[in-house]
């Protein structure tokens, strides 16, 4: 099956948009962590995994559409990206529910990343003073949603774009 030029261009633009949007989403989370000082909890870190997997998949979809590989390849990659974002949506909704106390979170949920001291003499003191975030405490809310809530919105939006792009003829 041969793609028309318009369909190939459409798949290219969809894949490129998803690549940039996914990179911006996970980049924002990394920015809040490394620049803003927000220490992510275990569930926060798990929500990044679908993005880390989807980014190379979307890069491959961009290459596939650009080189006009069979349409089935590009569409399959877009579906894979949509499935990964759907999984991200499930993770984000779960984490949001834990934050709103709708259901319990994992019992081992504390920070997986902590600040590193530069002074070995203060290592024990730094460990004593570091309070890892709990999965059931939102670091903050913007327009009523936590980071997990906004990730649910982003994941749903990106999944919808990916699936719609894959189904476009």
Pick the residue with more confidence: 111 or 64? 64
Nearest Cα to Cα of residue 50 among 79, 24, 82: 82
Highest-pLDDT range among 9-13, 78-82, 144-148: 78-82
- Spatial CB neighbours of 106, under 8 Å, sequence gap ≥ 6: 42, 43, 135
Domain layout of the chain by residue ranges: 5-99+136-167
Span 5-99+136-167 CATH architecture = Up-down Bundle (1.20)
Sign of the CA dihedral with 30 first, then 153, 85, and 41 last? positive
- Spatial CB neighbours of 93, under 8 Å, sequence gap ≥ 6: 152
Q: So what's the pLDDT on residue 109?
A: 79
pTM: predicted TM-score of the whole model, two decimal places: 0.82
Q: Quick: pLDDT tens for 28-82.
A: 999 988 998 888 999 999 999 999 999 999 999 999 999 999 999 999 999 999 9
Give bridge partners of residue 120 from the DSSP assignment: none
């Amino acid at each position: 099956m041969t793609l028309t030029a318009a369909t190939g261009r459409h798949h290219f633009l969809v894949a490129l948009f998803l690549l940039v949007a996914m990179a911006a989403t996970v980049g924002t989370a990394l920015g809040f962590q490394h620049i803003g000082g927000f220490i992510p909890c275990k569930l926060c870190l798990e929500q990044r995994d679908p993005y880390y997997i989807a980014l190379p998949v979307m890069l491959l979809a961009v290459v596939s559409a650009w080189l006009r590989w069979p349409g089935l390849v590009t569409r399959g990659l877009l579906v894979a990206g949509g499935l990964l974002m759907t999984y991200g949506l499930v993770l984000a909704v779960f984490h949001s529910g834990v934050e709103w106390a709708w259901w319990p979170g994992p019992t081992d949920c504390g920070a997986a990343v902590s600040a590193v001291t530069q002074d070995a003499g203060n290592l024990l003191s730094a460990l004593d003073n570091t309070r890892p975030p709990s999965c059931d405490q939102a670091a903050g809310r913007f327009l009523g949603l936590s980071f997990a809530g906004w990730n649910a919105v982003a994941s749903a939006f990106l999944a919808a774009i990916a699936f719609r792009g894959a189904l476009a003829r």
